Amino acid sequence: MKSILIGIVVSMFVLFAGCGKEQPPPKKPAAEKMAQPAAKTEEKAATETGKSPQEEVAYDARGRRDPFLPLIQVSKEKPKKKAGASPIESYSIDELSLLAIAWDKEKYYALVMLPDKKTYTITEGMTLGLQGGKVEKITNNTVLIREYINDYKGEIKPRDSILKLHKGEE
C-alpha cells in the first residue's frame, strides 16, 4: 500500500513539475516582422474610430462556374416566332385553352382561345404552337397535340399535350 502511495506522489510530482515552465513563443518569419508595424497602425486607427479590425477577402470568379447552379441547364426560352406564321403558331400549347368541340358527319372541329382573348377553329392535321405541334386527334371532349421538342440531352422526342374540354374530369 505504501509503495502505491509513493508511486502516485512521484507521478504527480513529475506531471506538475513540467507545467511550471512557460514555453517561449514560436519565432515569426521575417515577412511577418515586416508587416507588424503596418498592422499596429491599422489597429490604432481602428481603435480610434471604434471599429474592430477585419480582414478583407476578395474572390475573383472569372473563368469559374457558379457552384450553386445545376450542371445541366434546361432552357425555358421560348422559340422565336417564325416570319409569316399564323397567330395560333405564336403561342405555346400550354397557353391555349379549349372552349368547345363541334362535329359534323366527316370530322371534328375545336374552338381554342389564345391568351390575347382571340378564338380560332382548329381541325385534325393543323399546325399550332411554337414547336410546330400537329393536331393528331380530336374527340368529343379532348384534343391531342403532338410536338417534337429537344429534351435536356439535346435529343428530339415527341411530347403529347391533351387539351380537355371539361378540366374537372381527370
* pLDDT of 25: 63
pLDDT at 79 over 60: no
- Between 39-43, 71-75, 141-145, 158-162, the lowest mean confidence (pLDDT) is in 39-43
CA-to-CA distance for 163 and 112, rounded, in angstroms? 9
pLDDT at 147 over 80: yes
pLDDT at 54 over 70: yes
- Structurally, at CATH architecture level, domain 87-164 sits in Roll (2.30)
Portion of the chain with pLDDT greater than 90, in percent:
29
Higher pLDDT, 20 or 67: 67
Residue 128 near residue 93, CB atoms below 8 Å = yes
Segment 68-80 mean pLDDT:
71
| Predicted structure pTM score | 0.51
pLDDT at 113 over 70: yes
pLDDT grade for 57, boundaries at 50, 70 and 90: confident
pLDDT grade for 33, boundaries at 50, 70 and 90: low
Q: Which of 86, 72, 70, 75 is nearest to 149 (CA)?
A: 75
Higher pLDDT, 75 or 138: 138
Domain boundaries, given as residue ranges, for the chain: 87-164
pLDDT at 109 over 90: yes
pLDDT at 30 over 80: no
- DSSP-assigned states of every residue in 53-120: ---------TT---TTS-SSPPP-PPPPPPTT--GGGGS-GGG-EEEEEEE-SS-EEEEEE-TTS-EE
> For strand 97-103 and strand 119-122, is the pairing parallel, antiparallel, or unpaired?
unpaired
Mean pLDDT of the chain: 78
| Predicted confidence (pLDDT) per residue in 1-26, tens digit | 778 878 887 777 766 665 555 666 66
